[in-house]
C-alpha cells in the first residue's frame, strides 16, 4: 500500500524532499527514560543476505514464511503466510537527538547503560545484533546503511533512487494478530512498482526506531492484494531479487525455497513496519 508523500520531515534544504512515511512508527522528542523497552526478534534478521540460516530462525521466525518464488506470484495463487507483528512501538528520534547518541558496537556498554538495558538480557542481545547487522558490509551490487532518523531514511532513499519523486509502500493487514494461514492473491491483485531500482528499509529491534536500508538495481517491487481463509485482507508490498549470486549460499531463503544462489528470482513480502521506496515518475 502506498503511503503519504508530501509532508515535511523537518528542516530541509531548498528543493529537498518533503516526505512522510506511515509505517507504524512516530517521531518522538521525549527524553530517554530509565528502563527503555527493546523489542526482541527471533534470531537474525532474514533480510541481511550475508547471514547463513540458523535452526532457530528456520523453525521459529515467522518472517521466514514470507519468502517465495517470483513465478508463483500471480492472480489466484495460494500461499501460506504469517504476517506477524514483529517490531512495534518504537519511535524515531529527532535527527539532532539521534545523531548525538553513540551507534557502534564498540560503544555497546555505553548504549546499554544509556537505556538501562541489563547487559546479559535478551534485550541487550537484540541491541548487539542490530549493531552487528548495521556494521556488516553490503553484498556485491548492494548499497546499505542503518538510518537512525526519518530524515536520514529519506535522504538515503532519495539519493539512492536519484530523485525526490518517490513512492513508498508497506504491508497493511485488516486484522491484528492473524494466524499463519492460506492467502489467495486477488484477481487484479498484482501491480508492479516503477523501475528496477528499489530501496527497502527493514525495522530493527532497538531502543528507538532504527531501519536497515539497502538499495539495489537488480530488484522488482510489487503491490499485492490478498485475502486469507478467515477473511483477513492484506495489501502487501513485495520485493523480488533477480541476482542472488552474492548471497550466502546457506541463507534462509535458499533453505526454505530449496534453490541455489542465482537460479531464480527470490521474493519476499515485507513484514509490518518495513517499507520499500521506488520512483514515482
174: which 3 cell numbers? Answer: 485488516
Q: Which pLDDT value is given to residue 18?
A: 42
Residue 117 DSSP symbol:
-
Say if CB 195 and CB 213 are below 8 A apart: no
Contact 133, 204 (CB under 8 A): yes
Structure confidence at residue 14 (pLDDT)? 40
Residue 80: pLDDT over 80? yes
CB atoms near residue 16 (< 10 Å): 15
Lowest mean per-residue pLDDT among 77-91, 155-169, 243-257: 77-91
List strands edge to edge, sheet with 275-279: 2-3, 166-170, 275-279, 198-204, 210-216, 142-147
pLDDT (average), residues 41-51: 74
pLDDT tens, position by position, 106-138: 999 999 999 999 999 999 999 999 999 999 999
C-alpha to C-alpha distances, 168 to 93, 171, 199, 225, nearest whole angstrom: 20, 11, 9, 16
Q: What is the pLDDT of residue 54?
A: 79
3-state secondary structure the chain: CEECCCCCCCCCCCCCCCCCCCCCCCECCCCCCCCCCCCCCCCCCCCCCCCCCCHHHHHHCHHHHHEEEHHHCCCCCEEEECCCCCCCCCCECCHHHHHCCCCCHHHHHHHHHHCCCCCCCHHHHHHHHHHHHHHCCCCCCEEEEEECCHHHHHHHHHHHHCCCCEEEEECEECCCCCCCEEEEEEEEEEEECCCCCEEEEEEECCCCCEEEEEEECCEEEEEEEEEECCCCEEEEEEEEECCCCCCCCCCHHHHHHCCCCCCCCEEEECCCCCEEEEECC
Q: How does pLDDT run across 224-237, given as a tens digit for each residue?
A: 999 999 999 999 99
Q: With 50 as the cut, is the pLDDT of residue 158 above it?
A: yes
Computed over every residue of the chain, the mean pLDDT equals 84
Compute CA 176 distance to the chain's CA centroid, rounded to the nearest angstrom: 18
Asked if 1 and 235 count as a contact pair (C-beta separation under 8 A), the reply is: yes
- Residue 281, pLDDT score: 73
Q: Are 226 and 185 in contact (CB under 8 A)?
A: yes
What pLDDT was estimated at residue 36? 55
pLDDT of amino acid 9: 33
Neighbours of 34 (CB within 10 A): 7
Read off the pTM: 0.84
What is the distance between the alpha carbons of residues 144 and 215, in angstroms, rounded to a whole number?
Answer: 6
Q: In this prediction, what percent of the chain has a pLDDT beyond 70? A: 80
Say yes or no to pLDDT of 27 above 70: no
The per-residue pLDDT for range 198-218, each reduced to its tens digit, is 999 999 999 999 999 999 999
Per the model's pLDDT, the better-predicted residue between 105 and 38 turns out to be 105
The grid coordinates of residue 86 equal: 514483529
Q: What are phi and psi of 268, to 5 degrees?
A: -150, 145
Q: Residue 184: what pLDDT? A: 97
pLDDT score for 177:
84
Average pLDDT (34-39) is 53
Amino acid at each position: 500500500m502506498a503511503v503519504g508523500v508530501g509532508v515535511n520531515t523537518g528542516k530541509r534544504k531548498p528543493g529537498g524532499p518533503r516526505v512522510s512515511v506511515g509505517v507504524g512508527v512516530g517521531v518522538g522528542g521525549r527524553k530517554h527514560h530509565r528502563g527503555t523497552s527493546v523489542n526482541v526478534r527471533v534470531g537474525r534478521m532474514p533480510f541481511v543476505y550475508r547471514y547463513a540460516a540458523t535452526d532457530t530462525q528456520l523453525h521459529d521466525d515467522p518472517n521466514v514464511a514470507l519468502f517465495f518464488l517470483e513465478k508463483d506470484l500471480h492472480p489466484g495463487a495460494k500461499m501460506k503466510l504469517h504476517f506477524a507483528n514483529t517490531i512495534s512501538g518504537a519511535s524515531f528520534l529527532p535527527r539532532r537527538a539521534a545523531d548525538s547518541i553513540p551507534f557502534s558496537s564498540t560503544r555497546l556498554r555505553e548504549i546499554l547503560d544509556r537505556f538501562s538495558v541489563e547487559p546479559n538480557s535478551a534485550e541487550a542481545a537484540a541491541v548487539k545484533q542490530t549493531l552487528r547487522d548495521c556494521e556488516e558490509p553490503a553484498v556485491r551490487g548492494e548499497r546499505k546503511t542503518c538510518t537512525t532518523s526519518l530524515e536520514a531514511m529519506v535522504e538515503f532513499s532519495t539519493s539512492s533512487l536519484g530523485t525526490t519523486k518517490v513512492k513508498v509502500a508497506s504491508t497493511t493487514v485488516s486484522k491484528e494478530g492473524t494466524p499463519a494461514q492460506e492467502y489467495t492473491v486477488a484477481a487484479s491483485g498484482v501491480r508492479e512498482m516503477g523501475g528496477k531500482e528499489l530501496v527497502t528499509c527493514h525495522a530493527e529491534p532497538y531502543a528507538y526506531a532504527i531501519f536497515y536500508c539497502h538499495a539495489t538495481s537488480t530488484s522488482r517491487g510489487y503491490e499485492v492484494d490478498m485475502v486469507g481463509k478467515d477473511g483477513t485482507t492484506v495489501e502487501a508490498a513485495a520485493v523480488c531479487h533477480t541476482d542472488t549470486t552474492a548471497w550466502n549460499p546457506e541463507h534462509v531463503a535458499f533453505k526454505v525455497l530449496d534453490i541455489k544462489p542465482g537460479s531464480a528470482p527470490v521474493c519476499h513480502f515485507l513484514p509490518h513496519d518495513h517499507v520499500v521506496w521506488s520512483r514515482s515518475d
